[in-house]
């Protein structure tokens, strides 16, 4: 396996894996039109190219020995609705593992790399937004020192997800 920092040429792979993983994990929550609208506006090459070319953002891509994308993560400056957000706060924005490869600790590998990068870049404190019912992700983030800090609503069409903001100081 190869874990590397993604480059702009990876935008299509990231968009495709993001759409697949989001749909597999959360698709059952939304009506089909809202889900389709969200996927086609969020998981595009263009939406991934912008942060891929920003030095304050970083994508990490985990591939198998044949170059097949298995998982990715995205970290950078915090954009969550955090009250009194610190000026140098960082965020784990996405941590997606292909459905066929979940439960193999691939997410932990990427999370460690993102946490190291955020530290090297001087981001502090760190935040993560996570669906309130995604208990597996909450347990994983808890292992790395993240604790519930606040809550917000995440909109997909007319649906509002109850989300937690976790913080690591």
168 contacts: CB under 8 Å, gap ≥ 6: 125, 126, 127, 144, 145, 146, 147
- For residue 3, pLDDT over 80 is answered with yes
Is 53 exposed, middle or buried, given 0-12, 13-18 or 19+ CB atoms closer than 10 A? exposed
What value does the mean pLDDT of the chain take?
A: 96
Q: Read off the pTM.
A: 0.93
pLDDT digits (tens, 9 = 90+) for 69-80: 999 999 999 999
C-alpha 169/C-alpha 166 separation (Å) is 10
C-alpha 44/C-alpha 107 separation (Å) is 22
Tell me the three-class secondary structure of 24-56, residue by residue.
Answer: HHHHHHCCHHHHHHHHHHHCCHHHHHHHHCCCC
Mean pLDDT of 115-139: 96
pLDDT at 27 (0 to 100) = 93
pLDDT at 73 (0 to 100) = 98
pLDDT band with cut points at 50, 70 and 90 for residue 48: very high
Q: Give, in order, the Cα–Cα distances in Å from 1 to each of 69, 112, 152.
A: 10, 16, 36
pLDDT at 161 (0 to 100) = 94
Mean pLDDT of 118-123: 97
pLDDT at 11 (0 to 100) = 97
- For residue 169, pLDDT over 90 is answered with no
pLDDT digits (tens, 9 = 90+) for 8-25: 999 999 999 999 999 999
């Amino acid at each position: 396996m190869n874990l590397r920092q993604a480059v702009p040429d990876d935008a299509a792979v990231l968009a495709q894996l993001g759409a697949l993983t989001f749909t597999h994990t959360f698709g059952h929550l939304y009506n089909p039109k809202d889900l389709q609208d969200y996927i086609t506006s969020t998981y595009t090459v263009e939406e991934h190219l912008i942060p891929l070319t920003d030095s304050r953002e970083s994508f990490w891509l985990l591939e198998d020995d044949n170059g097949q994308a298995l998982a990715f993560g995205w970290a950078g400056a915090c954009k969550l609705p955090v009250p009194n957000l610190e000026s140098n706060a960082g965020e784990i924005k996405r941590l997606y593992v292909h459905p066929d490869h979940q439960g193999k600790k691939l997410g932990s590998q990427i999370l460690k790399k993102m946490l190291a990068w955020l530290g090297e870049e001087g981001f502090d404190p760190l935040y993560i937004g996570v669906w309130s019912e995604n208990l597996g992700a909450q347990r994983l983030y808890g292992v790395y020192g993240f604790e519930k800090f606040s809550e917000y609503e995440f909109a997909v069409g007319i649906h509002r997800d109850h989300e937690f903001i976790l913080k690591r100081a």
